[in-house]
């Protein structure tokens, strides 16, 4: 039966649908709804203070006793010693002046995965822990594995997938170029040489022996069926869940998703310092020529974030979205899971 395989069984799922743990957009309610529907709900905790992360996991547990994935970033801590006088800063100043805002002090608004996050995992013992931008240092990684959690991590190239397998992850997430939000790149492959999901996925499946999860542009059952045909053991879906009422999404973000077109997104470093796919707006278009001059991740977030104030806040907002945004629908998360499975059944039936 296509709906089950060793990875699905290890994760404790009824469905091979994994909700992407999108930091800032996911909620305990969204994650619980997906898990209770038989998929894997996720909480993106990379940008959350530990006490907030604690509360979110507890809130999930009050709503569901099913499997939970919690996600963290594994970025290199930035060097903050060379931040003044950059071209990026000079280009941002007029926007601050127009809004009557004081210039902020550039800083890193959140840390990389560390010992506090490890203690959080030890306290809550989630069934799944996932990482973006590679993996933590070996001692921390081994300690995470020692909790019994299954570990997932994103790869944007075959080389990254092989590296993750060699380090001991349980499954790799093949993140195609279509995916919304941050690229999971960690071996310095530029987006210009990365590939879309349906070129990347079969190459990663061929290149590693561990299960592969497909991510990027999947928003309906046809996409799921295609991923399965190319060897995926599961699919990770993010943008399609952003229009669910359980998601923490601004009304303008929802409206933009509802009216999205195939050319409506862009990869940009302008919000955080790392490439991320977002819905194009005034900010992304006006400063696209200095995209490569963004402050290091995540310092850029400290200078782009304050601009999201006032009546024109959405002109400066980071509205994450994948290239499958035009395929999204507004419905409760549990209904979406069931709809996706029904569509996949139909797509595979038509193939036969």
Judge whether 270 lies within some domain: no
Lowest mean pLDDT among 10-19, 75-84, 150-159: 75-84
* In a domain? residue 186: yes
pLDDT of residue 83: 62
Residue 352 pLDDT > 70, yes or no?
no
* pLDDT value for 3: 80
pLDDT of 337 above 60? yes
Tokens, residue 297:
């991740």
Dihedral sign for Cα atoms in the order 327, 329, 333, 336:
negative
Q: Note the pLDDT of residue 105.
A: 86
Residue-wise pLDDT for 36-57, tens only, equals: 999 999 999 999 999 999 999 9
The answer to whether the beta carbons of residues 177 and 191 sit under 8 Å apart is: yes
Tokens encoding 184:
């999971």
- Residue 205 in domain: yes
**Region 312-338: what's the mean pLDDT?**
97
Query: Is 341 within a domain?
Result: yes
Mean pLDDT score across all residues of the chain: 95
Domain range for 345: 6-76+112-263+329-351
* Sheet with 276-279: strands ordered across: 181-182, 276-279, 265-268
Strands (E), the chain: 17-19, 41-44, 68-73, 128-132, 150-155, 171-175, 181-182, 212-215, 234-237, 265-268, 276-279
> Is pLDDT above 90 for 245?
yes
**Residue 10 placed within a domain:** yes
- Mean pLDDT across the stretch 266-279? 97
Q: Give the C-alpha distances (Å, rounded to integers) separating 209 from 158, 159, 204.
A: 12, 13, 9
| Lowest-pLDDT range of 4-8, 80-84, 132-136 | 80-84
Is the pLDDT at 102 greater than 80? The verdict is yes
Predicted local confidence at residue 325, as pLDDT: 98
Does residue 181 belong to any structural domain of this protein?
yes
120, pLDDT greater than 60: yes
Q: Indicate which CATH number applies to the domain containing 347.
A: 3.20.20.70
Can you tell me whether residue 175 is helix, strand or coil? strand
Question: Which has the minimum average pLDDT: 84-98, 116-130, 291-305?
Answer: 84-98
Asked if the structure places residue 294 within a domain, the reply is no
Q: Give the per-residue pLDDT at 1.
A: 61
> Between 197-207 and 221-229, two packed helices, what is the crossing angle to 10 degrees?
30
Strand partners, 171: 152
pLDDT above 70: residue 62: yes
pLDDT in tens, 291-314: 999 999 999 999 999 999 888 999
Residue showing tokens 């195609």: 176
In this structure, of 38-47, 72-81, 83-92, 241-250, the range with the lowest mean pLDDT score is 83-92
Is the pLDDT at 348 greater than 60, yes or no? yes
Q: What average pLDDT score do residues 112-136 get? A: 98
Place 2 in a pLDDT band, splitting at 50, 70 and 90.
Answer: confident
In a domain, 44, yes or no: yes
For 170-187, b/e burial (b = at least 16 CB within 10 A) is: bbbbbbbbbbbbbbbbbe
| Mean pLDDT on 114-122 | 98
> How many domains does the chain fold into?
1
Tell me the pLDDT band of 84, cut-offs 50, 70 and 90. low
């Amino acid at each position: 039966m296509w709906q089950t395989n060793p990875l699905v069984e290890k994760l404790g799922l009824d469905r091979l649908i994994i909700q992407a743990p999108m930091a800032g957009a996911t909620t305990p309610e969204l994650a619980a709804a997906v898990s209770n529907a038989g998929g894997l709900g996720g909480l993106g905790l990379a940008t959350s203070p530990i006490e907030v992360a604690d509360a979110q996991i507890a809130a999930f547990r009050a709503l569901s006793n099913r499997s939970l994935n919690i996600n963290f970033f594994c970025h290199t801590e930035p060097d903050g010693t060379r931040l003044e006088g950059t071209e990026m800063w000079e280009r941002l100043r007029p926007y601050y002046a127009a809004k009557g805002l004081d210039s902020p002090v550039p800083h890193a608004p959140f840390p990389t995965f560390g010992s506090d996050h490890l203690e959080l995992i030890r306290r809550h013992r989630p069934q799944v822990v996932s990482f973006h931008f590679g993996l933590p240092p070996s001692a921390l990684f081994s300690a995470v594995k020692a909790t019994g959690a299954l570990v997932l991590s994103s790869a944007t190239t075959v080389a990254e997938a092989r590296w993750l397998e060699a380090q001991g992850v349980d499954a790799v997430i093949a993140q195609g170029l279509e995916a919304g939000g941050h690229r999971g790149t960690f071996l310095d492959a530029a987006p210009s040489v990365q590939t879309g999901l349906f070129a990347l996925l079969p190459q990663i499946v061929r290149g590693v022996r561990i299960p592969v999860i497909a991510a990027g542009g999947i928003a309906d059952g046809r996409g799921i069926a295609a991923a399965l045909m190319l060897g995926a053991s599961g699919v990770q879906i993010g943008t399609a869940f952003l229009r669910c009422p359980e998601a923490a999404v601004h009304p303008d973000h929802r409206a933009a998703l509802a009216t999205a077109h195939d050319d409506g997104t862009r990869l940009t470093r302008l919000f955080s310092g790392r490439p991320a796919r977002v819905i194009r707006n005034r900010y992304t278009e006006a400063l696209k020529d200095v995209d490569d001059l963004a402050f290091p991740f995540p310092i850029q977030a400290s200078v782009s974030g304050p601009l999201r104030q006032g009546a024109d806040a959405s002109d400066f907002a980071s509205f994450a979205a994948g290239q499958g945004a035009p395929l999204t629908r507004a419905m409760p998360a549990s209904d979406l899971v069931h709809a996706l499975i029904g569509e996949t059944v139909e797509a595979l039936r038509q193939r036969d």
